[in-house]
Structure 1
Amino acid sequence: MTTVKGNTLELDDIQAAALEPRPTPYAGSYLALRVDDRRQGRELLRRLTPILDPVATFDPQRQVSLAVALSFQGLKALDVPAESLATFPPEFQEGMAARAAELGDVGDSAPENWEGPLGSEDVHLVLAALAPDDARLETIVLLARDALRDLPGVVPIWQQDVHVGPDEKEPFGFRDSIGQPAIEGTGIPGTNRQEVPLKAGEFVLGYEDETGGIEDIPQPEVLGRNGTYVVFRKLHTRVAQFRRYIRDRAKDPADEELIAAKFVGRWPSGAPLSLAPDKDDPELGADPARNNDFMYGDDPQGLKCPVGAHARRMNPRDAVVTGEARLHRMIRRGTTYGPPLPKGEVEDDGADRGIMFAFVGAHLARQFEFVQRQWLNDGKFIGAPEERDPLVGGNADGQFTVPREPIRRRFKGLPPFVVNRGGEYCFMPGLSALRWIADLDT
């Protein structure tokens, strides 16, 4: 553990995009860059830093943001000193592709099947722009591209445009990004009034976390403090296959909707099964004061929400050992890409559609990797070691159990409904750290 100055959050140094919630609706864009010239890469950081909003001055009315994150290979390309590079955690140094076996990225999701250049050593910087509409997004994208002017040593190599409509639904047709944690010292409310705010050190480096200590941070302190880690994954969704699987096993349209809700843990409107176990409640689903205000402790057998449902696996709340869920809590920023599959269509139209998943947190291994490995890809913690997450667990002939009285309902032969097309582990530095990197003289 590290001892550092003060434990009051320095909101004027933390990139706003790390902690601030997103607008609804919104449009966004991810841009990956390769740094061929370290001095030009540093110049880009020098130009970008003044246009990055810190949490302290973020305008929730304008809701326009730009974020800058760097991979380990990006830090190397910028010639960050070796003694500093060595202080980053090993999983970050290895990168996502090297961790594929740990993450369950096998078969169609294996790195050899990823969309290039994802998974290569060429992804150095990732810029993420976000705005409530396309017009305002274009403004921030133009600022970023203007910063790239006359810097031929920094090359754009990949771009993914994303969007979320007013209904906030992901490609499978379910309202998404509902559950977000409250974080001490930020003033940003969480979405579950029954959840005590988490320590800031769970999400920002250099502060006390839920273990009561302060995790070691990259050195020197100016580099690590106020930074965080970001994981992004391009998850292709096989929507038509999901619909066919459910339809072929349902008794009628109402049963079809119920089965899909049991897989997800929520109804399409966003209403949770824990509060609406029998049928959808659009009014509940649309109410941000109620649609995440629940726990699972009163449903130990999963009769309302299956213990293996996707939402419950991602955040089991009070259904696991007291306090354990808090050690693995994440900020999740799911964003859709591609056109929606028309309602009722069960044949694949060949379009690429899916979710740009983004994780934000201070502990790659304890948060993202643990949840991916132990809660999504393994069922031991729910007493079903042979079962994976029915949506994103990378099933190959998997199964999923829906508890029911008098007889449970079991679904077999699940194919992988979500395929990872690539991603990376990135470090989102504080503003002081970006200036420190920009001012390196090597």
Structure 2
Amino acid sequence: MSTPSADESVELEWDDIQSGALHERPSPYVGRYVLIRIDDREAGRELVRRLLPAIEAGHPTADPARDAWITVAFTYQGLRALGVPSDSLDSFAPEFRAGMAARAAELGDVGDSDPGNWEQPLGTPAVHIALAALSPDSVRLAKVMERAQQAYGQLPGVEVIWRQDCYQLETGRTSFGFRDGIGQPAVEGTGRNTNPHEAPIKAGEFLLGYPDETGALPPMPSPDVLGRNGTYLVFRKLHTRVAAYRQYLYDQASSRAEERLLAAKTVGRWPSGAPLSLSSDQDDPELGADPDRNNRFSYHDDLDGFKCPAGAHARRANPRGALDHENSVNVRLHRMIRRSTSYGPSLPEGVREDDGADRGIVFVCVGAHLKRQFEFVKTQWLNDGIFIGAPQEADPLVGRSDTPGVFTIPRRPVRRRLRNLPPFVVTRGGEYFFVPGLRALRWLSELDS
């Protein structure tokens, strides 16, 4: 497979882009998410003014482990609370205006994941501003958070209403035991190709004001100063039922080796990150740790899924070449930048009984098109199986959780079918945010309506 050439003709306005919008997550990392409610419009604008010196613009450092940074984002209700004019509010994407809780039924947030069961105040109109801070270590995180606290601390009219700390687990993997964050798309104009085996995705897929993969400019909020160089951010707190996942695999397997294989088949990769497409029979930690090889594959030569099942989580989230033969889906239109983090303690290796601890993933992704990026992938690829010819099957990890799941593993001479999969991931809350550019933040701070 040859390395695609990159078209770097687009020039990004780095002085206006929040550095956190495109900043890679360091490894290891520690972080914190803070949600704020605005009770007084003038106080909210003062908060934005105070935050501005703490929000860095410019090209993300070539070494993502070198620094700490803060990203500030707003819900639709938050922009209303700041006094953004109605004509500007109406120019935002419909999904953003509605909010994630209102989209729950379509997104598959039902049953235990229904917004009625969400952690307060997630998904409510009280969530106005999100601050996200990430750092390679706790010392630098404390310093960058101190700058933020100086902005919102002792400011009547704004209230911190929720906080979530996150960190890389000691295993370096997710709570389910798999390496995460592999296969991020490269963005045209950044000069960095994080995936050298895929041509960079047009900047307009991730930042407003630039051409996207269709060649057009994505719809942008008005006025231009508010929308340009901004992006949408998807935020979801996902509780992982690790003990139930392990117990289910244990019950389905006749040996420890088969248990590990079934786990890899549901994910599409081995715990090390090695893809099944390149190592279908056993884990290959050296392959999983090699960024030059662990993404050098496609599913075009495995359409029947004998190496990696078509319904595996990683393959559903990014079908790669598996859909090329249909000439109906351009996978590049549905790529997202994922910046997910882990929270809560890890469950000790081998334990299959729930210890009652809250653990999971804070799923974060950014993109310029909420509908055809996050919502399309969630509803059409993760929750549904029509595109893989299995309409009754959903993603075995994060699909709809209102009915027991089914997962098919192609094999010869007879396929293996896992039945009655319980929900292993439960949505605890979420929201759609808008991440403005620096000029937009100044515009928001100077509103006088």
- TM-score, normalised to structure 2's length? 0.95
- 2:278 is aligned with 1:275: yes
Partner of 1:373: 379
Alignment of structure 1 residues 9-48 onto 2, 5 Å: 9-48=12-51
Partner of 1:3: none
Question: Partners of 1:12 and 1:168 in 2: how far apart?
Answer: 33
Q: Of the candidates 189, 194, 206, which is equivalent to residue 190 of structure 1?
A: 194
Answer whether contact 2:169 2:342 (CA < 8 A) is retained.
no
Partner of 2:91: 87
Partner of 2:166: 162
- 2:159 is aligned with 1:116: no
Deviations 1:177-220 (A, max 9, x none): 111001100123223x2211110000000110001111220000
Q: In the TM superposition, what is the alpha-carbon distance from 1:89 to its structure 2 partner?
A: 1.1
- 2:441 is aligned with 1:434: yes
Q: In the TM superposition, what is the alpha-carbon distance from 1:149 to its structure 2 partner?
A: 3.0
Q: In the TM superposition, what is the alpha-carbon distance from 1:59 to its structure 2 partner?
A: 6.7
Question: How large is the Cα RMSD of the aligned pairs?
Answer: 1.3
Q: In the TM superposition, what is the alpha-carbon distance from 1:49 to its structure 2 partner?
A: 1.5
Q: In the TM superposition, what is the alpha-carbon distance from 1:134 to its structure 2 partner?
A: 1.1
Alignment of structure 1 residues 187-336 onto 2, 5 Å: 187-191=191-195, 193-321=196-324, 324-336=330-342
Q: In the TM superposition, what is the alpha-carbon distance from 1:17 to its structure 2 partner?
A: 1.0
Inter-CA distance 319–59: structure 2 relative to 1 (3 Å threshold) = closer
Matched residue of 1:254: which SS? helix
Answer whether contact 2:23 2:60 (CA < 8 A) is retained.
no
Partner of 1:132: 136
Question: Partners of 1:100 and 1:362 in 2: how far apart?
Answer: 20
Answer whether contact 1:394 1:417 (CA < 8 A) is retained.
no
Question: Partners of 2:81 and 2:10 in 1: how far apart?
Answer: 32
Question: Partners of 2:218 and 2:298 in 1: how far apart?
Answer: 29
Question: Partners of 1:334 and 1:434 in 2: how far apart?
Answer: 24
- 2:179 is aligned with 1:172: no
1:98 is matched by which residue type in structure 2?
A
Deviations 1:403-425 (A, max 9, x none): 11111100000110000000100
Partner of 1:398: 405
Partner of 1:340: 346
Deviations 1:235-262 (A, max 9, x none): 0000000000000010100000000000
Count of residues paired in the alignment: 436
Q: Of the candidates 350, 363, 385, which is equivalent to residue 369 of structure 2?
A: 363
Q: Of the candidates 403, 407, 414, which is equivalent to residue 407 of structure 1?
A: 414
1:237 is matched by which residue type in structure 2?
T
Answer whether contact 1:25 1:166 (CA < 8 A) is retained.
no
Matched residue of 1:437: which SS? helix
Question: Partners of 2:237 and 2:351 in 1: how far apart?
Answer: 23
Partner of 2:59: 56
1:84 is matched by which residue type in structure 2?
S
2:162 is matched by which residue type in structure 1?
W
Question: Partners of 1:77 and 1:274 in 2: how far apart?
Answer: 49
Q: In the TM superposition, what is the alpha-carbon distance from 1:391 to its structure 2 partner?
A: 0.3
Question: Partners of 1:386 and 1:149 in 2: how far apart?
Answer: 51
Name stretches of at least 5 consecutive residues in structure 1 with no aligned partner: 1-5
Q: Of the candidates 355, 380, 384, which is equivalent to residue 349 of structure 1?
A: 355
Answer whether contact 1:394 1:419 (CA < 8 A) is retained.
no
Question: Partners of 1:432 and 1:197 in 2: how far apart?
Answer: 26
Matched residue of 2:335: which SS? coil
Percent identical across equivalent pairs?
Answer: 61
Question: Partners of 1:59 and 1:118 in 2: how far apart?
Answer: 34
Matched residue of 1:407: which SS? coil
Partner of 2:4: none
Partner of 1:386: 392
1:65 is matched by which residue type in structure 2?
W
Q: In the TM superposition, what is the alpha-carbon distance from 1:294 to its structure 2 partner?
A: 1.4
